[in-house]
Amino acid sequence: MARLHLWLTDDAPASRWQAQAGQAFRVARSFARSPLAMLGALIILVLVVTALFAPWLAPYSPVGQNLGERLLPPSWAHWMGTDELGRDILSRVIHGTRITLLIVVMVALISAPIGLVIGAVAGYFGGWTDRVLMAITDVFLSLPKLIMALAFVAALGAGLQNAIIAIAVTSWPAYARIARAETLTFRNSEFISAVTLQGASSLRVISLHVIPLCMSSTIIRVTLDMAGIILTAAGLGFLGLGAQPPLPEWGAMISRGRSFILDQWWVATMPGFAIIVVSLGFCFLGDGLRDVLDPRQREGR
């Protein structure tokens, strides 16, 4: 153990493999030393596990109504109480993890690649390509995201799928900016010239060399944005524009609990806690990742 530790922390690694292992070791260790980052990772892990095993973890059905047990306060039988249709809130929150996870994953899978490609292309080609693409990006960036998402959903019609599309459409510009900035830092470096001199096409250079190098900063940014995506999705759900009943979407659940907030506080507050915990988890994780992987961009927006 002691020798392995010495080998990993050697100032002058003897091989490339040792250097990479040492680097990974340092990253992992400084990540592990940040309690908030670890907490964030733990929360996300729990979220994923809960979403995967929701049917086995939830004590009741998320949609099964039981009008005899309406609006019960939290108890041993119903840890988070029941809602106005007698459904177990805990079970609905547990099943809600699937919807939340689906939204963030889909938004990330749609918007991050769009942003990456636009940014990488703009940064790599420069000139007019860059100017036009960045002008479009800047227009999107200078518009209010939530309002635009609302307007898109209004046009497309309410529903989970359209909510995902609307959020994705308003999220990509930030990634394009980051990818472009990153591309510019190594656009003129030797290794890019070397690859192009070997006859690689622009498509090849961008997809095999430029985009992979932009990945880490984009991933950090996506993680940091997750909380915002969750909040926007919950907001759409709250307005009745996102997931439709009887889906146990957290924002929609809060919306239904609104009428009972004074007497049956748990109906609206419980799903809110779920949103806060998961969003905080992503914030902590993103913050930790940035501190570890990308010390240059600390705290930037």
Footprint on residues 159-188 left by another protein (CB under 8 A): 180, 184, 187-188
Cα separation, 83 vs 28, in Å, equals 43
Footprint on residues 16-35 left by another protein (CB under 8 A): 26, 29
Footprint on residues 126-165 left by another protein (CB under 8 A): 126-127, 130-131, 134-136, 138-140, 142-148, 150-157
Least distance between another protein and beta carbon 68 (Å)? 27
- Residue closer to another protein (CB basis): 68 or 295: 295
**15 part of the interface to another protein, by CB under 8 A:** no
From the number of C-beta atoms within 10 Å of its C-beta (0-12, 13-18, 19+), residue 218 rates as: buried
Q: How wide is the angle at C-alpha 56 spanned by C-alphas 51 and 61, nearest 5°?
A: 90
Position among 57, 114, 280, 293 found at the interface with another protein (CB under 8 A): 280
Query: Residue 294: left if φ>0, alpha if ψ -120 to 50, beta else—which one?
Result: beta
Position among 4, 9, 33, 207 found at the interface with another protein (CB under 8 A): 9
**249 part of the interface to another protein, by CB under 8 A:** no
Select from 84-92, 113-121, 223-231, 288-296 the region that touches another protein (CB under 8 A).
Answer: 223-231
Size of the site for another protein (CB under 8 A): 73
Contact 222, 112 (CB under 8 A): yes
User: E-assigned strands of the chain?
Assistant: none
Least distance between another protein and beta carbon 272 (Å)? 4
N- to C-terminal Cα separation, the chain:
40
Least distance between another protein and beta carbon 85 (Å)? 20
Cα separation, 176 vs 139, in Å, equals 12
